[in-house]
Amino acid sequence: MLQLSDFYKNIFGCKTYKISLDAGCTCPNRDGSKGTGGCIFCSENGSGDFVAERQKSISEQIEAGKKLVEKKAKGRSGTNPVKYIAYFQNFTSTYGDIESLKKKYYEALECEEIAGLSIATRPDCLNDEILSVIAKIAETHFVQIELGLQTSNEETGKTINRCYTNSDYEDAVRRIKKSSQKIHIVTHLIFGLPGETEEDMLNSVDFVVKNNCGYDEKFGIKITVLYVVKNTKLALMYQNGEFKCLEKEQYFELLEKALKKLPENCVIHRLTGDPPKSILVAPEWTTDKKRVMNEISGILNKCGA
Ligand code: SF4
């Protein structure tokens, strides 16, 4: 296992930050082509809540993002060089007019200090056309594709209304690797989804490993605890007492078990989310970010990452 900061440092030779961007896409699970209303946990901003306004150009968003990073990292980066990954985070960043998406990806790459792209999407939104655009970029730049999976339990998949299947995910991983061995795949999982047992969550980790670790390249994983945010179906279910959020200790115990399952070529991208306090309903313990980060780094050390 490798931590993300080390992975990026090995590739880029310096501290590398992600800048969240909004490509102006929507999602097939919102516009009616696959479903309506979206995944039950997805916020109004399509699971990306720290981005500049949609009407800004990609370069303007990048400039604003750099300022935000500089403000947050003040005193840490000093005069050392830094690089940035342009992270197309909101909604489904491969869903839309191909030419316009292509323009936005290249606009990001032309900005100063941008070292590569990270493109968040659904496994069922990677047709051959968009994959060939991304594979072409991967010939000259670092590219990672972030795939939402959340769980490998198909029943939970229905409960959360994700509107794609495990085989969509398996197919996406296979086709991405076929299009370019250079694309780094990162899979998102959520622990604590309604009705899930510990076995379900750990099975999801096994499922990601099984689908990715056959490839020589390193693969990535992001795990977060389930966050309930305002104005979502999940918030209604929570208020109606239909499920309980994971307690801090439960989540950390699960994380430790999950990390022990990860092979050496797995990069840990994140083990916590970051929803703004203003929209968070639960779990309350996640707002103590310093403590959460300390606990997580203790677990990472214990697991040898
Ligand atoms: S697929 Fe992503 S953007 Fe679409 S509704 Fe689900 S979480 Fe939100």
Strands (E), the chain: 2-3, 15-21, 82-88, 114-121, 142-150, 184-191, 219-225, 228-229, 266-270, 280-282
In angstroms, rounded to a whole number, what is the distance separating the alpha carbons of residues 111 and 157?
Answer: 38
- Cα 160 off chain centre by: 17
- 290 within 8 A of 264, measured Cβ to Cβ: no
Residue 185 alpha carbon to ligand 1 centre in Å: 18
* Choice from 30, 43, 126, 189 to test ligand 1 binding pocket (greatest atom count within 8 A of CB): 30
Residue 275 has pLDDT above 60, yes or no: yes
Q: How far apart are CA 257 and CA 253, in angstroms?
A: 6
**pLDDT band with cut points at 50, 70 and 90 for residue 281:** very high
Residue 285 DSSP code: G
3-state SS class at 274: coil
Domains in the chain and their CATH numbers? 2-302 (3.80.30.30)
The CB of 27 under 6 Å from ligand 1? The reply is yes
Q: Check residue 305 and give its pLDDT.
A: 82
Residue whose Cα lies nearest atom 7 of ligand 1: it is 42
pLDDT of residue 43: 87
Joined together, the tokens standing for residue 69 give: 């990073």
- Kindly state the average pLDDT of the residues 50-59: 75
Residue 124 DSSP symbol = T
With 80 as the cut, is the pLDDT of residue 217 above it?
no
**SS3 at position 190:** strand
**pLDDT at residue 34, as a whole number:** 95
Mean pLDDT rounded to a whole number for the chain = 93
pLDDT at 79: 66
| Helix, coil or strand: residue 174 | helix
CA dihedral 36, 42, 43, 46 (to 10 degrees): -80
**148 Cβ below 6 A of ligand 1:** yes
Which residue out of 25, 34, 42, 231 has the highest number of ligand 1 atoms within 8 Å of its CB and is therefore the one to mutate?
42
198 C-alpha vs ligand 1 centroid, how far in Å? Answer: 24
Average pLDDT over residues 5-22: 95
Asked whether the beta carbons of 42 and 106 are under 8 A apart, the reply is no
Does residue 46 carry a pLDDT above 90? Answer: no
Token pair recorded at residue 300: 């990472």
Q: How far apart are CA 275 and CA 30, in angstroms?
A: 20
216 or 5: which leads in pLDDT: 5
How far, in Å, from the CA of 18 to the mean position of ligand 1? Answer: 20
Measure Cα distances from 235 to 40, 106, 189 in Å. Answer: 8, 38, 19
Q: What's the predicted TM-score (pTM) here?
A: 0.96
230-240 confidence digits (pLDDT tens): 999 999 999 99
